Amino acid sequence: MTGAFFPADPVLAEAARIACSGVLKIQGGEQVLIITNPEQEVETISRALYAGALERGGVPVLVIQGKKTQLDFADPAVIAAFRAKPQVVISVSAEKLGKDRAAIASPYEHGGEQYDHIFHLQLYGEKSCRSFWSPGLTVESFTRTIPIDYAELGRRCAAINRVLSQALSVHVRAPGGTDITLGLRGRCAKADDGDFSRPGAGGNLPAGESFISPENGTARGLIVFDGSISLYDRDAIITEPIRCEVSGGFVTGISGGKDAQALLETISLAERDALEYEKAGKLPRGQGGIYKRNARSIGELGIGLNPRARITGNMLEDEKAFRTCHFAIGHNYDNDAPALIHLDGLVREPTVTACLADGSSVVLEEGGELQI
């Protein structure tokens, strides 16, 4: 088959085939919704994925909307495309997919849970689709980090997740100054292991992390980000370490150079917008203050597990790199601390120790070296 959607680059085409066959396992006749932006890198990858879905016998639709930041809304036509109930959803965006305006104001309810995006409802609630999403993905990163040993990645993710899901707390130290403890009671770790073949399964490509949301209100200590950081409109390599003091589960102080100032400005913008959203009816009454408070919450600890990932200034790849862990400020993955932002930041060469109920401990990573 030939045509505009079929990439001339055989390396790109092969990476797309791996994504469509090995990761998503697209089947004949399945509806595949691909959402992207009119920017060369992400649109090129999306067209290759369109071709890969066609080769699998899928029925792909490519939707192109303008670039969205962490605080922007998706175009109405994008939200409407979800109502066709595609079995597979792929988002390859320059920044973000965009928020669901109607669902932010009036969340969907399913199985006793609330969802502030139709995508989250279908993936996590109804489990009517499977997906991967890749904000900021480049062709070079896609072709380098997708062809990996997914069986070995799955083994690593499963081993780490077993420990984290049983732990009462986790302690993270690093040479840059990080020294923080997070409670984990009642939390279950999640895996971005590249197996998105079942309804309700989804994650990033490139894949490669185990992650968990800490028990609310328990994080305490100091995080020193010294790798890269997510901001509301971009990711950036950190030029001067960012020191975040943490108490009661929230960031209480931020210091450092221009990167620290940019992080503070992003958090302040999310706090302000949360109150403005409520005034404008974009958040339910009473939620503005909650979203504002959680803009400083510690929402995630993750461990990078993709052997081909490296720190490039693109958080999609950076957070998967070996010899790193990352923390997120803002929205968590248990949906009990909602915020308008989820800002990942990298810590280099960490030592991550899980503390178990019987008083024993398990070192998951020591000085950046995986121990499990």
DSSP-assigned beta bridge partners for residue 355: 169, 361
Q: What is the pLDDT of residue 70?
A: 87
Which helix (H) or strand (E) segment is 267 a member of?
Answer: helix 258-279
SS3 category, 289: helix
Q: Greatest CA span in the chain, whole angstroms? A: 62
Amino acid, res. 314: N
Alpha-carbon gap, residue 292 to 111, rounded angstroms = 27
Q: What is the pLDDT of residue 8?
A: 65
Q: Per-residue DSSP letters for 170-210?
A: EEEE-TTS-EEEEE-TT---EEE-S---STT-EEESS--EE
Alpha-carbon gap, residue 124 to 302, rounded angstroms = 20
The first and second tokens of residue 122, run together, are 């279908």
Q: What is the pLDDT of residue 233?
A: 87
Alpha-carbon gap, residue 145 to 358, rounded angstroms = 39
pLDDT digits (tens, 9 = 90+) for 164-174: 999 999 999 99
pLDDT digits (tens, 9 = 90+) for 201-255: 999 999 999 999 999 999 999 999 999 999 998 999 999 999 999 999 999 999 9
Q: What is the side-by-side order of every strand in the sheet holding 369-370?
A: 250-255, 242-247, 220-225, 179-183, 169-173, 351-355, 361-366, 369-370
The first and second tokens of residue 218, run together, are 């328990």
CATH numbers and ranges of domains, the chain:
10-140 (3.40.50), 148-370 (no CATH)
The alpha-carbon radius of gyration of the chain (Å, integer) is: 20
Rounded to 10 deg, the angle between the 10-17 and 40-55 helix axes is 60
Residue ranges of the chain with per-residue pLDDT less than 70: 1-8
Cβ contacts of 363 within 8 Å, gap of 6 or more = 351, 352, 353, 354, 371
The first and second tokens of residue 327, run together, are 């923390």
Please answer whether residues 93 and 68 qualify as being in contact, where contact means their C-beta atoms are separated by less than 8 angstroms.
yes
The burial of 111, by beta-carbon neighbours within 10 Å (0-12 exposed, 13-18 middle, 19 or more buried), is given as exposed
Q: What is the pLDDT of residue 7?
A: 61
Tokens 């597979």 belong to: 88
Q: Which segments of 240-323 are extended strands (E)? A: 242-247, 250-255, 298-304
Q: What is the pLDDT of residue 1?
A: 44
